Amino acid sequence: EVKDRLAAAVEKANELGAANNELSAQLEYGRRELEKKEEAIIRLQRDIKELIHEFNSQASEMKNSMMKQEKELKETVSANESLKQALTNQEAFTKSVCDQSNQLQEKLAALEEEQVSAGKLIQELQMQDR
């Protein structure tokens, strides 16, 4: 009976040893898998950080580009307004010059008429003196 118990205990110890070895192998496999997953997580976190950095850089570049375009647009609008004002001023100046030219032509015509009248008067006076 002691032999049987001893044999049963040895068999049980062997079974427990085999089960322990199997569990140790499973534990080691689980550790390796966990290590692989942790490495994958670290790579993903690094990739995410790089993507965030790249996104922020591109967003900053786009913001700077938009601000530059907005500034250029404001300058263009301002220049356009200045050109419109210059054109309005030029039109007013041209109208003023045309009005002055018309007035001068009217005065010239009146002076020419006076000259013709004065010439006729001089001729009439000269004829009367003869």
What's the pLDDT tens digit per position in 42-68?
A: 999 999 999 999 999 999 999 999 999
Q: What is the pLDDT of residue 128?
A: 86
Q: What is the pLDDT of residue 84?
A: 98
CA pair distance 9, 15, nearest whole angstrom: 10
What's the pLDDT tens digit per position in 8-37?
A: 999 999 999 999 999 999 999 999 999 999
CA 74-80-84 angle, 5° bins: 145
Q: What is the pLDDT of residue 95?
A: 98
What's the pLDDT tens digit per position in 94-108?
A: 999 999 999 999 999
